[in-house]
Amino acid sequence: MQQPVMLGARRGHANTSTPMAIQIVREPITLDEMRSLAHGQFGDFVKAVVDVRLGVMAIGGELHADEEALLLEQASRQVDLWGINIYPDRVGTDRIEFDSMINVRPSQGNRSRSVEDPALRQQIVNVVTRLIGA
């Protein structure tokens, strides 16, 4: 994984001012690493932004928008970035939740927080499956 990029302080966590570390995942990581990240942030899930063109994802941000911003700085294109939540303790299709404000893109035919195109959803699943090992 790339070195974490520290952005601001986490909100919503009692008595903590620990900065959040957004990481760009280019090589597979373990489910245990995802669980650890989830438990350190939201409890049971990790926010992620997937670049379907480059086959990478940013994880560890408090907001999908923070992860999106980092990927845009790293040569990603807005049209290729999609926000999801990953639940490491779930299996199969329940592991990925397609829900993010960054997904609302009427100009791309996506009018909701979800990812409406089944082919695009499958591309996202393929990237996540490749990057999160057992």
Residues of the domain holding 124: 5-131
Own/partner pairs for 86-94, CB < 8 Å, 24+ apart? 86/34, 86/38, 86/45, 86/46, 86/47, 86/48, 86/59, 86/128, 86/132, 87/38, 87/44, 87/45, 88/31, 88/34, 88/35, 88/38, 88/44, 88/45, 88/46, 88/132, 89/35, 89/44, 93/125
**Identity of the amino acid at 12:** G
The C-alpha angle with vertex 128 and arms to 122 and 130, in degrees rounded to 5, equals 100
Dist CA 126 CA 42 (whole Å): 24
Give the model's pLDDT for residue 134: 65
This prediction has a pTM of 0.86
Percent of the chain surpassing pLDDT 90 = 81
As a three-state string, the secondary structure of 16-78 is CCCEEEEEEECCCECHHHHHHHHHHCCCCCEEEEEECCCCEEEECCCCHHHHHHHHHHCCCCH
Q: How many domains does the chain have?
A: 1
pLDDT tens digits, one per residue of 92-101: 889 999 999 9
Q: What is the pLDDT of residues 7-64, one digit of tens each?
A: 333 333 333 445 568 999 999 999 999 999 999 999 999 999 999 999 999 999 999 9
Nearest to 84 by CA among 56, 53, 50: 50
